[in-house]
Structure 1
Amino acid sequence: MKDVTYLLQNQIPVVDSHTTVATLLKYIEKNNFSHFPIVEDELWIGNIAKEDLILETNNTLLGELKMNFQYFSTEKSTYWALLWENFMHNNSNIIPAIDKNRKLLGIYRKEDVLGFWDNIPSFIEKGTTIVIQKSSIEYSFSQICQIIESNNAKLLSIFIISFENNFCNILVKTNGLNNTEIIQDLRRFDYEIISKHLEDSFQNKISDNSEYLQKYLNI
């Protein structure tokens, strides 16, 4: 996993409890920040959200809004996947980086980390992507992996897309080998195939033709 330390933005203004709402709001609107870190004597004391600032009068001091502070941060040396999870969990497009003494070192911006998605091998490697669905309490990653590997294929990635009406939608990407057998085995274990696949269409056509022939022979 790649370290993102070089993306740290440390040229940011000092915003403390004596800064007014109007001053900070003007800055974060200009830079399209959802939150911004607050310090006291160079030590991080929390973050304030833009949506909370909008509700206050211009002359209000940030120190008066401590009840609205949010407390998410990261270490300077971190990995992009952990940082991305931090962005998602806190619905923020900035994450402050602090040291062990809570000194503010700078911020990471979501837009800077976004580029890492373009270089994930499981996304850029050629293969087959299958979207499957099963009950939220019955699906098993280990079972899915076993089905794929038992058909002499390699798993490139697997993750949950969404939960809908007690069902889990899962995206699976393989190296593209033995797709027909994999799809058949997934169905055998009660996974519904949501995505459309050429191999699956051929198999269905063969099955339909076989049923038609059997009916013809029975006439």
Structure 2
Amino acid sequence: MIAIDLISDVVPAIHKNDTASEALNWMDVFRVSHLPIVVDEEYLGLISETDIFDMNNPEKRVMDHELSLPRPFITEDQHIYEAAVLVAKYKLTVIPVLTTDEKYIGIITINDLAQEFSHLMSANNPGGIIVLELRTNDYSLSEIAQIVEGNDVKILSLYVKTTPTNEFVDITLKLNKNDISAVIQTFERYSYKIKATYADSKEIDVMLKERLDSFLKYLNT
């Protein structure tokens, strides 16, 4: 999925002559804390709610105040992972999208970004979940896939999380079947440490919600 496929057609850009109160009103309507300032397809910068409050003058033009953010954006052909990096780096609620020659074409909201990552995690597909813990040097995707597929099960998605020291990794596997007992037994036979398993649909929903909440927290902290 690239940036152009996730552009919102709802949240508008603001003009440099718009007032602080107008910008704040749009932020309130669309529940965002940032809006792009655009004039004739030229992206001038991203104004934040904090910038507006710092103005201390609701009738002041948005471009009469120095912006706190260094004009963040991604181009239309960049992957949404790169959008997530910028969102996390600058604590953004929207990320502007430009053409390769830097003409403004729209924005991606943090909610749309989170929803797309939910799809990438196959959150809406039925199936069990296994969380493995292993040393980073022992991680072999081919071996893990061989164990799973050897039990006539497919991996729908895989999520890797490293520890702060990079010594260990947690591997979260979303599988295409609810009955994952044979896969669990095979992992145990190969001495894999199984950190958690989820086969009940309610447990899976809770676990995936926690993963999504963790992702949103990462983007906003």
- Length-normalised TM-score, structure 2: 0.63
- The code of the aligned residue for 2:102 comes to R
The reply to whether residue 30 of structure 1 matches residue 23 of structure 2 is: no
Question: How many equivalent residue pairs?
Answer: 196
Secondary structure in structure 2 of the residue aligned to 1:123: coil
Q: Cα deviations across residues 140-181 of structure 1 (Å, max 9, x unaligned)?
A: 333322322334432222112564665322211223398444
In the alignment, the residues of structure 2 paired with residue 54 and residue 111 of structure 1 have an alpha-carbon distance, to the nearest angstrom, of: 24
Instruction: Show the 5 A alignment for 1:1-219.
Output: 5=5, 8-9=8-9, 12-16=12-16, 18-40=17-39, 42-58=41-57, 59=60, 61-66=62-67, 68-75=69-76, 87=87, 90-112=90-112, 116=116, 122-160=122-160, 163=163, 166-176=167-177, 179-196=180-197
Bigger CA radius of gyration: 1
Cα separation, partners in 2 of 1:39 and 1:189, compared to 1, 3 Å: same
In the alignment, the residues of structure 1 paired with residue 105 and residue 36 of structure 2 have an alpha-carbon distance, to the nearest angstrom, of: 11
| Structure 2 portions without partners, runs of 5+ | 200-221
Would the aligned equivalents of 1:4 and 1:79 in 2 still touch at CA under 8 Å? no
In the alignment, the residues of structure 1 paired with residue 105 and residue 174 of structure 2 have an alpha-carbon distance, to the nearest angstrom, of: 39
Would the aligned equivalents of 2:55 and 2:65 in 1 still touch at CA under 8 Å? no
- The code of the aligned residue for 1:154 comes to K
In the alignment, the residues of structure 2 paired with residue 11 and residue 197 of structure 1 have an alpha-carbon distance, to the nearest angstrom, of: 38
- Which piece of structure 1 moves more, 188-197 or 41-50? 188-197
1:193 Cα deviation after fit: 1.1
Give the percent of matched residue pairs that are identical in Structure 1 and Structure 2: 24
| Structure 1 portions without partners, runs of 5+ | 199-219
- Length-normalised TM-score, structure 1: 0.64
In the alignment, the residues of structure 1 paired with residue 127 and residue 189 of structure 2 have an alpha-carbon distance, to the nearest angstrom, of: 22
1:43 Cα deviation after fit: 0.5
